Amino acid sequence: MFTNSIEVRDATLKDLNEIYAIEKESFPDPYPKPLLKAFFYHPGIYIVAVIGGEIVGYAIGIIRFRSLGHIISIAVRKESRGRGIGKKLLKELIKRLSAMGAKKIRIEVRESNEIAINLYKKFGFVTKEKIFGYYPDGEAALVMFIDLP
């Protein structure tokens, strides 16, 4: 699969069921569907990655305090991972958050989630904090930040 066959576009409410399916298979503590729906009404960025008309990933980012970007979620369908879709979604999210005025972007990630940590490091995110017991099962979160030009 070639990364240029991946289209990244704004999500619409019609995509919600597929987004929720990806969420459920991606996280031990998935966001409930109503919360994923609520982000459509929150100012920010809600994008999906599409291959051949099928949604294979999604990402949500918002702006807090005018200049702090916050990545709420990013996930790729299990069977489509490792093909550059996460990179494409994250690149678009950073570009759009920057265009909305973000000077910094924050993300929390499980400390055991090496794949995601590698992805964020690749884009220049640096771990600045660790929050013990952040997740419902007690796992710690690394809080990673990137400064934007």
Ligand X SMILES: CC(C)(COP(=O)(O)OP(=O)(O)OC[C@H]1O[C@@H](n2cnc3c(N)ncnc32)[C@H](O)[C@@H]1OP(=O)(O)O)[C@@H](O)C(=O)NCCC(=O)NCCS
Residue tagged 């990179």 (tokens): 87
Q: What radius of gyration, in Å, describes the C-alpha atoms of the chain?
A: 15
Q: Does 144 bind ligand X (CB under 6 A)?
A: no
Q: How far apart are CA 71 and CA 1, in angstroms?
A: 26
Residue from 83, 94, 102, 105 touching ligand X (CB under 6 A): that is 83
Residue from 6, 8, 19, 75 touching ligand X (CB under 6 A): that is 75
Beta strands in 29-137 (DSSP E): 44-51, 54-64, 68-76, 104-110, 126-131
Binding part of the chain for ligand X, among 30-38, 40-48, 60-68, 112-120 by CB under 6 A, reads: 112-120
- Number of residue whose CB is nearest ligand X: 86
Residue from 11, 47, 60, 76 touching ligand X (CB under 6 A): that is 76
Mention every residue, 6+ apart, whose C-beta is less than 8 A from residue 118: none
Minimum distance from residue 22 beta carbon to ligand X (Å): 8
Of the candidates 104, 106, 101, 42, the residue with the CA atom closest to the CA atom of residue 74: 106
Binding part of the chain for ligand X, among 13-21, 30-38, 62-70, 116-124 by CB under 6 A, reads: 116-124
Give the interface with ligand X as residue ranges (CB under 6 A).
26, 74-76, 81-87, 109, 113-116, 118-119, 122
